[in-house]
Amino acid sequence: MSATHHPVGLAFATALPKIELHAHLTGSISRQCLHEIWQTKKAQDPNLALQDPLIAIPTGKTGESCQGRTQDHRGNHAAPFVDPSKIVSYGKLARAWMAAVGHGPMLVANPGLSRLGHLIHDLLLITTRLKRTTKASFFPLFSSYIYKLCNDLPSIEFSTRAVLQDFQADGVVYLELRTTPRAMPSAGLTKDTYVKTVSNILTAHNRATENSIRAFLILSIDRRNSASEAEEVVDLAIQYQSSGVVGLDLCGDPAQGDIRIFGPAFARAKAAGLKLTLHFAEAEASASDLELQTLLSWKPDRLGHVIHVKEEFRKVIEDEHIGVELCLSCNVHAKMITGTYSDHHFGMWRHTKVPVALSTDDVGVFCSPLSKEYYLAAQHFGLSQNGLQALAERAVDCIFSGPAEQARLKDVFAKWQASSHV
């Protein structure tokens, strides 16, 4: 069977060189990484009131299974993720086992509880939390752990390196991470220090010849920001433009803010040579004609999500050859679209001539790495191995870092094809 018609497996999608253009840094931090940071902080402060993230943050709320690890980010044996598809049966097994021995409460309180007992106890905690945790409460829970654990220089450095390792392990060869500059007064960190720290880690990673992925930074303006706060983000983006910052993003709650106040900030960024990507029509609340006309007037280079888009705006996007960042699992599991994967607007955009970049958005939340997104696209839209490689290459034209990286990526794909992968 030729590669043109050969079915795509997950192994192929993982090995395929891929480009990730819509990934929020904090949303890309895995539960395993949070667990390791928690272990460090717990060792430093035994009175830390925060529960282990592997127990407190349930998997499977999005319907996806987080991939387990054989090693953590320090090279040690990692705690496996529980397959959410088996949570219910595990919960039944746990209760049956504890009922059978007749000492459930005693076992939980007993310091000498066996390893199996600990496992059963943890499973019961997870199933209970899964039942109590709604979609509305899951994201605040995840975010609260991010901001409570990644709140000083060591944790920011550790989590950023872990995110880079995770994307590289998934076959990503080019990455643009986006983050909103954060000040952490309790740790003595300013927004400037935060951006400098993340930028330095990405630069050091790129300089290490053993790394196959090259990573760059996009700074985000939150819709809830004031005009002066937006200008501060632009100042930082320009200041660190020579240190790996390649663009500016507009993100945040689509129901909040008047985006028109940000026009001057984005115009100044554009004039300074920074690229622009905007969360665009991701919800009906942010898809009014006035908002979309305003955003398109800023001359963006890429648009994220592009869900609630009228034909007249689609035509502008196509005519101006604006790249689109499409996030399948995020849109399906967060109910941002009606239907399931096969109903996703990727099915329409893939038949246009604009650059298309499949992306993860928040892999730490949705537990679907980029390889899984490519696999899902192949399964639901009938893409062959050749078709999937063509899709991956399609994103090259809309990366923000410039011609040198575009040339490197074209060479990566040429060598991949020459090695008879397809």
Give the tens place of pLDDT for each residue, 341-385. Answer: 999 999 999 999 999 999 999 999 888 999 999 999 999 999 999
**If you average pLDDT over every residue of the chain, what do you get?**
85
Identity (one letter) of the amino acid at 229? Answer: E
Q: Exactly one of 36, 64, 176, 282 is catalytic; which is it?
A: 282
Give phi and psi for 269, each to the nearest 5: -65, -45
Which domains are delineated in the chain? Answer: 10-29+150-418 (3.20.20.140), 31-135 (no CATH)
Question: Rounded CA gap, 333 and 135, in Å?
Answer: 9
pTM for this entry: 0.83
Closest CA to 193 of 205, 202, 181: 181
Percentage of the residues of the chain whose pLDDT score is greater than 90: 73
Is 282 marked active-site? yes
- Between 82 and 26, residue with greater pLDDT: 26
Is the Cβ–Cβ distance between 331 and 305 less than 8 Å? Answer: yes
pLDDT digits (tens, 9 = 90+) for 264-301: 999 999 999 999 999 999 999 999 999 999 999 999 99
pLDDT digits (tens, 9 = 90+) for 156-184: 999 999 999 999 999 999 999 999 999 99
Residue 144 binned pLDDT confidence (cut-offs 50, 70, 90) = confident
Question: Rounded CA gap, 227 and 250, in Å?
Answer: 13
Give phi and psi for 114, each to the nearest 5: -65, 165
